[in-house]
Copies of this chain bind each other. A is one copy, B any other.
Amino acid sequence: MDQTTPASSPMANAADKAASISDAGPAAPTTGTPAFSPLYQQIKGLILQSLQAGEWKPGDLIPSELELAGRFRVSQGTVRKAIDELSADNLLVRRQGKGTFVATHSEQQVQYRFLRLEPDSGNRASQGPAERQILDCRRLRAPAEVARMLGLRSGEPVFEVRRVLSFQGVPTILEDLWLPGDPFKGLSSETLANHQGAMYALFESQFGVRMVRANEKLKAVAADAESAQTLGVAPGFPLLSVERVAYTYNDTPMEYRRGLYRTDHHHYHNELS
């Protein structure tokens, strides 16, 4: 970043840098919308790139604000604002006195960040940990709908996993999920079965895939014969259907999931604001 004159005022300096990142020409914005982007947004983008590139892995301590400020040639306040937003997006976690860390699904604290099913009485702690059972895991060519949801071409290899989650011995969730074959090369029933804790923690540690956000579509459906048997309910029993697409950095879809939840002793919790 060329700095000709050390700048008379702070902002003139900052404007130079912003221009040097977004624009190429010396001046004269020809576009109707000059696409002005604040410096801190550009810094945010640079940090995001490092996260995507795996320069800092989940759980890692990233450089201090002052160090990043030096690296990017901006003030600490600007780095702070960038980290503020990344922290609000759950990509980074700040800990006063210690530093800023890359968020991870492995912390006990956020083990079930994406599982919104809760017992009607008591809390998650009181019902004990979920019991996981892998029913199936196979590699196959993506059916049309799965391919569409994962942004793949029909027929590209994917992994298909079927599993059951039970609480206090009661089978409660039956899920099918599909993962793109390339990033998850080597996935097997054994890998899944041998792992304790949330599945997304395994994806992080074994495949370097961090799920960042997800969209869900919920419907009420009647249990078919097979699902009913697996979940221990009568056919036709009302089940909560949860269809999820989960994304990693960059809004790349990395998982398509279809779940059937028993809601006779649990409910799906949601907070609106």
Tell me, yes or no, whether A134 is within 8 Å of chain B by CB.
no
Question: Are B113 and A219 interface neighbours, CB within 8 A?
Answer: no
Chain B residue at minimum C-beta to C-beta distance from A77:
B77
Task: Establish whether residues A213 and B273, one from each chain, have CB atoms under 8 Å apart when the complex forms.
Answer: yes
B89 touches A219 (CB 8 A): no
CB <8 Å contact, A218 and B270: yes
Which of A125-133, A138-146, A236-244 contacts its partner?
Answer: A236-244
Nearest-neighbor residue (CB-CB) of A272 within chain B: B214
A207 within 8 A of B: no
- Chain A 208-226, CB-CB to B under 8 Å as 1, else 0, gives 0000111111111110000
CB A185 to nearest CB in B, in angstroms, measures 26
Is B216 touching A240 in the complex (CB atoms < 8 A)? Answer: no
The interface residues of chain B lying within 8 Å CB-to-CB of A267 are 217-219, 243
Given contacts A220-B220, A240-B219, contact A90 B213 (CB under 8 A): no
Cβ A263 vs Cβ B114 within 8 A: no
Interface of A is mostly: strand
A269 to B240, CA, bound (A): 13
CB pair B114–A272 under 8 Å, yes or no, is yes
A72 proximal to B (CB < 8 A):
no
Complex CA distance for A218 and B238, rounded to whole angstroms: 12
> In whole Å, how far is A58's beta carbon from the nearest beta carbon of chain B?
16
| Residue pair B90, A215 in contact (C-beta under 8 Å) | no
Query: Nearest chain-B residue to A213 (Cβ)?
Result: B273
Shortest C-beta distance, A253 to chain B (Å), equals 14
A273 in complex: contacting residue of B212, B239, B261, B268, CB < 8 Å: B212
- Is A216 in contact with B273, judged by CB distance below 8 angstroms? no
**Does A2 have its Cβ within 8 Å of any Cβ on chain B?**
no
Residues in chain A within 8 A of chain B (CB atoms): 88-90, 113-114, 116, 212-222, 236, 238-241, 243-244, 261, 263, 267-273
